[in-house]
Structure 1
């Protein structure tokens, strides 16, 4: 089963391959990823999600923030850096069920 991140990343990176240049926006609202970095700005505008108050324990709450997506029978926690353009650092996957978010 493909997860949301793999599908989204594949589409975004495929789009980048035909871009005129990094960071450009063209007619139709296409945002090309500079250096292939998936930033929070692109995520916020293009992925339906819920804001989380905290992140999984392995991440420093002073350095990152998290967002949640649901796809099929899985929950996906996207971990973004507070630094710079707020790049995506990690994606944690959880099976849906009682107490699926252990943080």
Structure 2
């Protein structure tokens, strides 16, 4: 014989639900910030890996052509410095743009 279904009263109050919602939203914001931080770290590590791969290739070319490894290394450093300067400039513009959005 099937049991009769009766309407049960809600076990939680509106205040309790609001507190749970606030906690869940706070955790969601923290997770989003952590995700953003990890994404930035991932991009930086990928840039480093690309830099080392480029340096490796330059050294291989220098060694195979009999050229000066130090001269090519100095050129590589100059290119890397220029790339980092461009990246910092782009990040500064991005941060400034986000700050302007927040102020608006």
Q: What TM-score do the two structures reach when normalised by structure 2? A: 0.29
Per residue, is there more helix in 1 or in 2? 2
Kindly indicate whether structure 1 or structure 2 has the higher relative contact order, using CA contacts under 8 Å at least 6 residues apart: 1
Rg (Cα) greater in structure: 2
Per residue, is there more strand in 1 or in 2? 1
